[in-house]
């Protein structure tokens, strides 16, 4: 990406003065946090169309009664990067696509800042349905829904996962460690042991723009990890 364009993206992030620094190689970074136990393999072996159909018809938790539609995920099925958020919000529930609201605009800018157009990644959520009032996902809802994400990962075989926000990170890593302590480390997800990096949720960054610099550090860190996979 040329310098002018990168500065434009960084300006969108409110980080116009930032310059690239060298990133640590993935091999120098400690892996932390207990891995997700092997999945129940409920959806194992299912292809993309069948998985999409199963999600669309899902009634495994009470969110199926209040959703407008399921939000399966979107993007390139050959993507190296899988971005995982928490759950659809009101706009995502309406449109059936993750991260299409204001937070989504910022997520797009964050991805572009590291040279990744939205079309080049795959974006999904821990939950495929909107919790009413955007409340946090319940543990049972996440447990019912995670096998869908696990099969998406099995099909996609991403080189890296980027968990955006505390809720996504804690659900994926099965931990209650704070986001601040989960950042800047290489975790491993599930039986596939995909490298997983944690950063702030774009909705949080809209409320707390002072932390955008830390998010930018996380994105560069993740890019360094991906380059060394
Ligand atoms: N927040 C999320 O975590 N996911 C979305 O899809 C939208 C907002």
Determine the distance separating the centroid of ligand 1 and the alpha carbon of 88, expressed in angstroms: 5
Residue 224 CA to ligand 1 centre (angstroms)? 25
**Residue bearing the CA closest to ligand 1, atom 6:** 98
**Coil vs helix vs strand at 153:** helix
Reported as a single tens digit per residue, the pLDDT across 40-58 is: 579 999 999 999 999 999 9
C-alpha 131/C-alpha 117 separation (Å) is 28
pLDDT of residue 33: 47
The closest alpha carbon to 120, from 162, 165, 177, belongs to 162
CA 147 – CA 89 distance, rounded (Å): 21
Other Cβ atoms less than 10 A from the Cβ of 62: the count is 14
Q: Per-residue b/e over 156-193, b at no fewer than 16 CB within 10 Å?
A: bebbbbbbbbbbbbbbbbeeeeebeebbbbbbbbbebe
Pocket test for ligand 1, best of 92, 135, 136 (most atoms within 8 A of CB): 92
Query: pTM of this prediction?
Result: 0.88
Predicted local distance difference test score (pLDDT) of residue 9: 58
pLDDT of the residue at 221: 98
**Ligand 1 binding pocket, CB closer than 6 Å:** 85-89, 92, 98-99, 103, 125, 165, 203
Sheet holding 186-189, edge to edge: 31-32, 186-189, 194-199, 160-164, 81-85, 122-125, 74-75
Ranges of residues in the chain whose predicted pLDDT is under 50: 17-38
Q: What is the pLDDT of residue 26?
A: 39
Pick from 151, 134, 214, 146: which is nearest to 182 by CA? 214
pLDDT score recorded for residue 28? 37
Q: 87-105: per-residue pLDDT in tens? A: 999 999 999 999 999 999 9
Report pLDDT digits (tens) over 152-162.
999 999 999 99
């Amino acid at each position: 990406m040329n310098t002018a364009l990168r500065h434009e993206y960084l300006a969108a992030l409110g980080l116009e003065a930032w310059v690239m620094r060298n990133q640590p190689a993935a091999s120098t970074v400690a892996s932390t946090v207990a891995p997700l136990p092997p999945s129940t393999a409920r959806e194992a072996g299912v292809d993309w169309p069948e998985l999409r159909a199963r999600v669309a018809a899902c009634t495994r938790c009470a969110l199926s009664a209040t959703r407008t539609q399921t939000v399966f995920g979107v993007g390139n099925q050959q993507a190296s990067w899988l971005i995982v958020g928490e759950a659809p919000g009101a706009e995502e529930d309406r449109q059936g696509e993750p991260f299409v609201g204001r937070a989504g605009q910022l997520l797009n800018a964050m991805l572009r800042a590291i040279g990744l157009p939205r079309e080049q990644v795959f974006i999904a959520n821990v939950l495929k349905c909107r919790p009413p009032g955007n409340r946090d996902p319940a543990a049972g809802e996440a447990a019912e829904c995670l096998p869908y994400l696990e099969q998406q990962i099995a099909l996609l075989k991403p080189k890296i996962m980027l968990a955006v926000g505390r809720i996504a990170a804690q659900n994926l890593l099965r931990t209650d460690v704070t986001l601040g302590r989960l950042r800047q480390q290489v975790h491993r997800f599930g039986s596939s042991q995909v490298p997983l990096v944690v950063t702030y949720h774009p909705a949080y960054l809209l409320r707390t723009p002072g932390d955008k610099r830390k998010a930018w550090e996380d994105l560069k860190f993740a890019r360094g990890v991906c380059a060394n996979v």
